[in-house]
A and B are shown apart, each in its own frame.
Chain A
């Protein structure tokens, strides 16, 4: 048999130390992605230059967009004597050469291990006059050996709020939305729904327009999009914060709540019917508005599609791998259309993951295999033991999808062999419609391929 992952045995043996085919990556890339969602911001990686190169490469491959970011370029000397002089020099060079409004510094495993105190170094840079007037340096501590890329996103969001948010004592009437580690298209869709509801929002971070920009013949290191510094400052004066996704967004929202009494609500990512309902309903109450007919119409269209194609969803087994926030929402959506996500693996840590999946699947006619801090090698072994009809996960799933001859829908991070994720949302009712389209397409294309001639059907 001509297999790509031919050495993966069916028997699952316990592993204590070896991670094989990870279902996560490290904090700094999430921090870099979040920082790109600030207008006029150059992310800066405080560590060796390889980290920055890898993160820029991976983000570029995923978004097919320029990703500018700088690095402290540690060498052996800086690793021994500390990275202060590198960072001071970097801050000076960056403001002189690239002229960003903001530098967002995140740490790496190297600078964390040697114990560099970034806020203190930034403070020194300010005192030394290396930070021009009306320019800012924000920071987040993102050691790679803690959590995952999702944690890094959360920490940078918290960092930008912590360093910017500034209460004026006057409420602005807006709702803060922390959209989670999602695509620029998803952030755009969240904004669109809020606009339809006439709720004024501060979406932070906001990578729409930054990582799905047009080709115009001009390169702007700092494109139009992104949450502005003024908005970030103003986030302390909002009427509430909606954090979408516990893992990626709750930290920042809770900070605003405890520090500045901006009440926070943590919701699942608005993927699928129920989760979008929750989002819209919460936004309605927070914003003190009513839901317009347009949104109800979109909801009805989604319900219509579910009913039209329910026969193809019903009882189909799915394997899921990705980030916890994504998986919790996806699982609920799949269960709601009577599909069976039987194998669910996230690489990110967090014991509450088991609890959330259990709640969602408790009335479903199946018991899923669930693993937090797991890897794709384990997922593959599970699939070998109990095959599925569909795999939903990032590009790396294509190897097992091909080996086991199972349709694969690309979702999550990274997607480096297909396009669309940067333009078409999977959140909101419209996003759910797109997800369903992909699911139906995958399942029916498979039927078209496999059905014998006598049962080959024109109509589905």
Chain B
């Protein structure tokens, strides 16, 4: 198969051949490992093939992944506006995680805290590395308190902090105690999210969520949740997604009690235990929080997806079905009906230009799955997809959870021991009610993973790297490729439009019905832009000399 021959009508055999051919380039050890992370999605009686995921990145292989700190400070705490997030380390980590994820936030008033445009760091110097940075950290926390008087300060450990053994938790406790003794109501806590822990951002999500769960969730018992009160977990409000979802649900009468962590606040985390249902968007980043909340407080959880019109409607109906009130069920149908004409109009316009086109998605730990719904609605086919930092359950579904081998890199991420809270545990549904719902086809705690939704003649690849991405693009020439900023311009140099699905480029929101319309328009613009026809000059396309000169014709 020549490198530049475009694969059009391919069989699974072609795909397996392609896989073998790509692997040949690697040293044998690397090839053996990649072979387990690179799958043709051949389902046999509904059981997708086993894929290797959440294993170490291979040194020297150009990965798409980031680190534990990025997952903790950047992804999870990044969208929370009223916590002063101090990075304890040299300046780089704090600088790079400063406003780069396009998490939007909307304080309720101009007096509200919003620290998201700020970057706080201890800017450690050589002296601090040699003699220890705890003193500087404590001083930095005090200075942050003096200047900003926030209700909470969070500390994030970077690589060298773990090595030199600074105890950020002790520093946080000490300053907190001291301030509390002086009558200041402030919460201060730390995250041991050194970049080298774990194999990807995923470890950082876990560390972040554990600490929010331990230090904040459950602190505010006075909240008075609405009649239909839910928490939205794993939604990060990139480009304003959370605003759309919130508006949509509010119109139905459903209140979002807290979001983890798009447009989120400290107070929302503190009252999270008062909601009646947890809805998970990004399964990877937060499924364990839903589990812990169910155990500790009795809040059931369901998987939802607000990307794609059908998925949005399905998720809204699922929430309504959970509460089971006729009035709510009808209201939800009414709101869906209100939204649909605009969607149908947009699709009628756009679909003739997108139908039959192809996409590839390599991003995140649920996004590569969810966005396929939007592409499907546009009549587009996903040829290949995979996650950057997912685990096997995100690929194969939660049924494989018991089979996942816990290795050393996962073992160093703390698993919280959670039990029912003696005072706050309150089952939202009786076992009979749950059984009744399940009998009606309602699914609690379920996620089937990306593979079950993808066709059997597509590729599923974990931790895609730059060499494989280039080869995939050369062979398939997809009409659009979705990944992150590091991948964007290399793909575009090959003449393939690249859409960032971490930060959405400059676009969004893409959630809900309004977001779907935005996405349709964006993809239409990308795949039909004239710019992709400009790459070759006319004389490169037609190099033969022609016989006449223009002026001879006059």
Residues of A within 8 A of B (CB): 1-7, 9, 13, 15-22, 24-29, 44, 47-51, 53-58, 60-61, 64-79, 86-87, 89-94, 96-98, 108-110, 112-114, 143-146, 148, 213, 215-221, 347, 377, 396, 399
16 contacts between A and B (CB under 8 A): A4-B117, A7-B114, A7-B115, A9-B147, A22-B91, A24-B95, A25-B95, A28-B92, A51-B67, A54-B70, A71-B59, A72-B60, A94-B60, A110-B163, A215-B531, A219-B490
Interface residue tally on B, bucketed by range: 35 or more
Q: How many angstroms between the C-alpha atoms of A227 and B409 in the bound complex?
A: 41
B288: interface (CB < 8 Å): no
Closest residue of chain A to B465 (Cβ to Cβ) is A97
Interchain CB contact under 8 A, B129 and A109 = yes
Residues of chain B within 8 A (CB-CB) of A15 are 143, 147
Whether the pair B89, A20 counts as a contact (CB closer than 8 A) is no
Q: Could you list 14 further interchain pairs (A-B, Cβ under 8 angstroms) beyond the known A26-B95, A74-B195?
A: A3-B110, A17-B143, A20-B118, A26-B92, A49-B65, A61-B485, A65-B489, A70-B59, A92-B27, A96-B27, A97-B30, A144-B92, A216-B535, A219-B470
Q: Are A114 and B163 in contact (CB under 8 A)?
A: yes
Whether A219 lies near B494 (C-beta < 8 A) is yes
Q: In whole angstroms, how far apart are the Cα atoms of A69 and B466 in the complex?
A: 10
Q: Does B552 make an interface contact (CB < 8 A)?
A: no
Of residues 180 through 228 on chain B, the ones whose CB sits less than 8 Å from some CB of chain A are 195-199
Decide if B486 touches A67 in the complex (CB within 8 Å): yes
A26 close to B90 (CB less than 8 A): yes
CB of B397 within 8 A of chain A?
A: no
Q: Given known contacts A48-B67, A97-B25, is B470 in contact with A54 (CB within 8 Å)?
A: no
Complex Cα gap A377–B95 (Å): 13
Confirm or deny: B436 has a beta carbon within 8 angstroms of a beta carbon on chain A: no
The segment from B37-45, B134-142, B357-365 found at the interface with A is B134-142
* Known contacts A53-B65, A113-B163, A399-B117; is-contact A93 B59 (Cβ 8 Å): yes
> For residue A95, which residue of chain B has the nearest CB?
B60
* A-B contacts at CB below 8 angstroms, number: 267
Interface-centre pick from A15, A19, A58, A377 (highest chain B CB count, 10 A): A19
Structural contact, B92 and A29, CB atoms closer than 8 A: yes
B93 within 8 A of A: yes
Which residues of chain A come closer than 8 Å to B126, judged between CB atoms? 143, 145-146
Q: Contact check, B535 vs A50: say whether CB atoms are below 8 A apart.
A: no
- Cα separation A58 to B199 with both chains bound (whole Å): 21
Min C-beta distance of B200 to chain A, whole Å = 8
CA distance A179 to B443 in the complex (A): 63
Quick one: given A16-B139, A75-B56, are A25 and B96 in contact (CB under 8 Å)? yes
Closest to B120 in A: A20
* Cα-based distance from A73 to B58 in the complex (angstroms): 7
Q: Which of B64, B95, B110, B163 has the most CB of A within 10 A?
A: B95
With A and B bound together, what is the CA distance between A144 and B159 in angstroms? 11
Given A77-B408, A110-B159, also A57-B485 (CB < 8 A): yes
CA distance A396 to B236 in the complex (A): 22
By CB atoms of chain A within 10 A, which of B124, B144, B158, B195 has the most?
A: B195
Verify B196–A76 contact, CB threshold 8 A.
Answer: yes
A25-B91 contact given A1-B110, A18-B140, A53-B70, CB 8 Å threshold: yes
Which B residue sits closest to A3, measured CB to CB? Answer: B110
**Shortest Cβ-Cβ A-B pairs, 6 listed:** A50-B67, A26-B92, A90-B60, A93-B60, A66-B490, A17-B139
**Residues of A with C-beta under 8 A to B489:** 60, 64-66
In the bound complex, residues from chain A placing their C-beta under 8 Å from that of B137 are 17
Query: What's the minimum C-beta distance from B102 to chain A, rounded to whole angstroms?
Result: 11
Residues on the B chain within 8 Å of A70, using CB? 59-62
Tell me if B233 is interfacial: C-beta within 8 Å of chain A: no
Mark each residue of chain B from 5 to 49: 1 if its CB lies under 8 Å from any CB of chain A, else 0.
Answer: 000000000000000000001110010000000000000000000
In the assembly, what is the distance between CA of A402 and CA of B159, in Å?
A: 35
Interchain CB contact under 8 A, A97 and B118? no
Interface residue from A55, A58, A217 paired with B495 (Cβ < 8 Å): A217
Q: Is B423 an interface residue (CB 8 A)?
A: no
